[in-house]
Structures are given as structure tokens and as C-alpha cells.
Chain A
């Protein structure tokens, strides 16, 4: 796996990421990685299925979650203003960030104003999306990731490869090696003689992180939900490290995508059931932290909420694509995806990998790069993702919709303005083939002529194809063309029995 990437994705990577098929090739050939991913995703997918099967109202919860999200997104402006009022009334300060740069400037400025040079972070995908750690580093501020898997990723100068389990591509022995060689550079070194037993690894992380929690004056978080009616933010986690980040520092800065809003406290009833069961396969996650502004003598004295757009209102403008904004980041779609299982998370070039990443990234970032234009094709459209999604995002529908945007172009919204997108390059041969197929299929006589030509030349057909066809024949034999197509057999046998019903038009 890449160790030279510096751990950033950002909207504009420092170097161009290859298109998905090329990026996936390495992972497909890596037997250890394939085995790690297969074991991890299959274990959690089976557990999830059992946790979901326990509830007899699962389908209704799923529908409720979908409807709450759709309602909120339809009235997002109103709910965001309500949220801002409630957070402000509770002693917090709300900042609005249109894009990654603006969000990074706001957060860097807020940290600099405290005079601190280091911050602790609870795992936050929004801050990874905008490349906040790198922006802070450029300003001389060190950000410490405190989620165990994020710590592994940060110490290994690596990139996350899963929404819920960012270090899913690492096994225990690799983690022990990373702890041994890297912890000392970041703070408290790993204990002498550290082995790769889970308990010892967890203890090493605990000792290393405890030092940072007790020292840090600034914490940075994301949030799973923001309740508009009360101004309450919610973080759902397993380790308790998040709660340390949220409660111990004097200043708390939360960077949250605007789509994380829910109207009312009671809406959490639905998501606090569907999220843990879908993500960790638990009935309830170990730690659910909620906070509303600031409270004297309890927790952070200053609270800042940075509301992040970064392509979300553009996505909202697309009536098919907008359902991607329902996502509650559970990662169930990753765990059932046969493509993710074999390609790994890094091939998606984003903090959002897997099926949801394949529809979210090309919308948040646009389809200008080779990678983003290839992501809508990173699926066999098998539909397993849609089946498990707790907010019923029809991922195959959006994938096909985005394929259409890539090959046909058309009108869509970018940076709040309507733009007309030109069809992407590199699809000329495919476009011509589709047009030719369309012509043949419009005339049954042409189809029959083609079939007869193929049958006549069948003995001359090569076993391996040249050009783009090699992609098929490198691993698969081609089917043999039969001597006679079905339609010729039908005509021959029915004519003989006197039963002709050839309604063939345009022959």
C-alpha cells in the first residue's frame, strides 16, 4: 500500500490519482490484502444481517429514515437557519464554509486565536474530505488523530480505506510494527516488547493517547447528526476516545457537512437504531455523546460549529443524485460490495470509498478527473448496496445516472451555477459501438444478417481478442458462435411445419 501519499485526499490531490480500474489492479493482485478484506467484510456483513433480522420493523425504520432525510433536504435552508439560531442561543458560534479552503481557513484561524499549536481530533470524515490536517500542518499546528484506526493510519503515513474501519487493510502484525517504529516520533513510545495481541495493542494506543487527551486545549470533531430544533450535536462511537476529545479541551471546533441536519430530537429515535446495527452490527453503540452549545463549568468553554457545503448544494440540485445526501456513513454498503472487497478502499481515492463513494465523490468533486469519471463504473450494478442501505439510497440508480452524465454530458450544477458539461473523453469507441448497436437493433433484418455473418465465419474466430476485447479474453474464453441463430432455426422449423408468422419489419 502507498506510504508516500502523505495521508491526504482532498478535492484536488497533489498528484493525479489513476482511474479506478488501474488503481484497483494492485489490490486485486495482493493476496494478503484480499484475504484481510474478505475476512473483515464477510464477518461484519454476517453480523449486520443478524442484528437487522432481530427487528421486525426494520423496513419501516428504513423508510422512516429515508423520509426524514428527504424532508430535511427539501427544507434544508430553513433547518440550517434554525440550527444556527439554536446553537448561537446555547453559547456556540456558527461559521459557514462554502468549500474546503474556506473551512480550513476558518478552523486554522480559530486554533491560532487560542495560541495553541496542537489539537486532538475525534475521527471526522468531513475534516479528511477537506484536508484539514494538512492545512493545520502548513500553519504549524499538529493534529493528533485519536480514533484507534485513525491513529494507525496517521502513524503509518497512510490513507483510510474504510468509512468505519479506516485501517481495515492492516493486520495485527503490521499494526504492531507501525506502533513500534512510529509512536516515539509522535509522543509516548510503544511499550518495550509489544506483541500483536489485541489487548496489548489497545493498551499501547491508550497510553499513547491518554497523554495527548490530558494536555490538549483544543479538540476538533465532526458529528453524526445535528438537531435543528435544539442545536444539539451528536457523535456516535465505540471507543470513548471521541468523548475525551469532546469534553476535555477548553475549545471544541466541529466541522460538519450541512446534510447531517435532522429537524428534531425525536428523529434520532430512528437513526440511533439503524446506524449502529448497520455499521458495527450492534444494537446500540457504546458511546453516544450529545452537546448543545456550552455549559458553565462542564466541558469546553468555547464551541464553534463550521457548517460545510463543499459540493453538497450542487448535489442537492440533482433530482436523481441528491439521494446520496441521505447517507449516514454506516458503511454497510462497503461491507457487502464485491467490488470493494477486491479493489480495496484506496482505489476510490477518497475518504468515502465503496459504493457510496462511487456516487458521492463524482458529485461532490465533479467528474473532471480520470478517477472521478471512472467511479460511476466501479460497480457491476448487483444491487447488494441498495438492499442493505438503512436510508434506502438506490445506489445503482445513481451510478447509472452518473454514467449518463459522464458519457452524454448535459446540464448540472457546479458551485451553485448551472453549467453544461461536455461528454467526457475516452468514450468515443464505446459511443460509436452503442450507436451501431442501436442501428442494428432497430432493424431485425440487419441483426439477422450480422448473426449469419458471424455463423459463417465461426471457425475463423480467434480465441483471444485484440484491442479492448483483450480485457475479456485475457481471463475468459469467448462463447462459440452457433451454426444457426435461434431466429433462423425458428423460421426454418416453423416454415417447414407451415406455421409462419414472420412479422419481421424492416428486413
Chain B
């Protein structure tokens, strides 16, 4: 099967390792991965900060770039939720504003075929054991949009549990937000930092070496907090854990 990788602008620019891991993982599982180079940004930051009208051209661009693929896979819960939950809402709002059905119709095709990575693995490919090897202790933080908007449930943990060598430690208060929240992190920096510090202390209390999540935006906030708090934990995207093997270990 041929899929398009929607890497997201944040990963493309700051976390290319996550993108390489997704390619490696999916290729190993027999998936033909394409990276349409015309892709940019889904428009989430614009939308969530109150610039819905500026998010619309980005959504249309997304739909132009990815419309022809069988499936679109993204290693980001929040960008996946943007497409799946908020693109239909943008279409409805445009209709309510008397702008007709055009936007809704343009965006509709990409909505059902956009998958967050762990969802694609478990639901579409039907695998939980991806043949990974990761000899480290890991605690998993379910990010809010993956958890509550996409309903990823226990899929990420099922995938992690099947990784050889990996010990999974339960994160206390796992379902509480880490405090990133896009522009919230700077608009309400004090509250955001307090939430981040609490999440990091919770993760530290598990004794795990690695804090894993399926969204690098949250990990950017938590990782930045970790180094400032001088913890020895490392933030790692789930794709990098699932891509690691005995022959080609994570570094």
C-alpha cells in the first residue's frame, strides 16, 4: 500500500529524526511511503489562536497535496486531530457564514483517510508487534489531542508493550495536560511552565529513562523543561522507539 507521510511543519523543521523513523518503520512493515514535498502546515496554530480564516488556505493546500493518496499518516496527535476534527468544523463554519459548501467539499476527502501513526499501525495495518527492540525503561504520556480528540486509547501502549527489551512504567496523572497548548505556552507561560514541571516530576518519579509521547510539540515543551530541571530523562517520540531494532538501535 502506498501512503503519504504528513510529517508536520514542526517535525520537518526541528525533528527530522522522527520523520526518518516513520519512513524506516513503515517501510519495514511493507508500506510504500511517499513524502509529497509540497506539504507545509495543517493550519492548527492559526486555527487555535483565533485565525480561522488564515487557516483556511492552509487546509485547502493540505487537501490539494494529499487528496490523491489512499491514506495519509502523521506522527502527531494534534495535527491529526486538526484534520479529522477541525477541518469538518471549518467547512461547517464557512457554510454558516453564507460561503456555501465549497470549503466543506474541498476538505471532506482527506478527513477520513488521515491517520495518526499508532492508529494507522493498529487499525489499518493490524499490527501491535512491529518487530522493534528498545532496551530501556519508558513511561508514556498520552497527549491531549491524541487521547481526547482522536481517541487513541491504549493503542500506543499496546505497541510499546510489544517492543522487545522495553519496560513500560505507568505515568502518574498520565491523562493530565503537559501544559504545551501551542500559543498557550507563551501567552500563559507561568501556568504552562508549572504544568510542564509537574508532568516532568511525575515522569521522573517512575524511574524511567525515557518519556515517550506521540507528539513532538508536547515533547519539545517537556524536553525543554527537563534540561532546565536537570533531569536525566530523555524525551523520545514513539516512532523512534518503534523504528529501533537490534541491528539498527536507537541512538
Q: State the A residues within 8 Å of B (CB).
A: 20-21, 24-25, 28-29, 34, 319-320, 338-339, 342-343, 376-384, 386-387, 397, 400, 402-408, 430-431, 434-435, 437-438, 440-444, 447, 450-451, 454, 468-469, 471-472, 474-479, 481-482, 484-487, 489-491, 501-506
Contact = CB atoms under 8 A, between A and B. Distances in A.
B80 interface: no
Contact of A482 (B16, B179, B220): B16
Nearest to B60: A442
B195 A486 contact: no
Contacts of B58: 438, 441-442
Interface string B8-25: 010111111101100000
5 contacts: A380-B177, A386-B148, A406-B50, A430-B183, A447-B12
Nearest to B227: A477
B36 interface: yes
A491 B37 contact: yes
A475 B225 contact: yes
Contacts of A491: 37
Contacts of B45: 434, 437
A403 B57 CA distance: 19
Contact of B181 (A381, A437, A479, A502): A381
B223 interface: yes
Given A21-B189, A28-B191, A476-B224, 15 more contacts: A21-B188, A338-B176, A339-B188, A383-B149, A384-B177, A397-B89, A403-B49, A404-B50, A437-B45, A438-B46, A472-B189, A475-B189, A482-B14, A482-B16, A484-B16
Contacts of B203: none
A491 B15 CA distance: 16
A408 B55 CA distance: 13
Task: Give the interface centre of A24, A454, A481 by most chain B CB atoms within 10 Å.
Answer: A24
B191 A447 contact: no
B163 to A, nearest CB: 24
A384 B148 contact: yes
Interface residues of B, number: 70
A438 B14 CA distance: 19
A434 B46 contact: yes
Interface in B196-251: 196-197, 220-221, 223-225, 227-228
B13 A451 contact: yes
Contact of B188 (A24, A34, A477): A24
Contact of A339 (B48, B191, B197): B191
Contacts of A383: 144-145, 148-149
Task: Give the interface centre of B19, B51, B220 by most chain A CB atoms within 10 Å.
Answer: B51
Contact of B190 (A25, A431, A435): A25
Contacts of B35: 486-487, 490
Contacts of B14: 479, 481-482
Task: Give the interface centre of A339, A384, A450, A484 by most chain B CB atoms within 10 Å.
Answer: A339
B36 A379 contact: no
B200 to A, nearest CB: 10
Contacts of A408: 50-53
Contacts of A469: 186
Given A451-B13, A482-B16, A380 B179 contact: yes
Contacts of A403: 48-50
Given A407-B50, A482-B16, A487-B37, A380 B181 contact: yes
A363 to B, nearest CB: 15
Interface string B165-202: 00000000001110111111111111111111100000
A447 B144 contact: no
A39 to B, nearest CB: 14
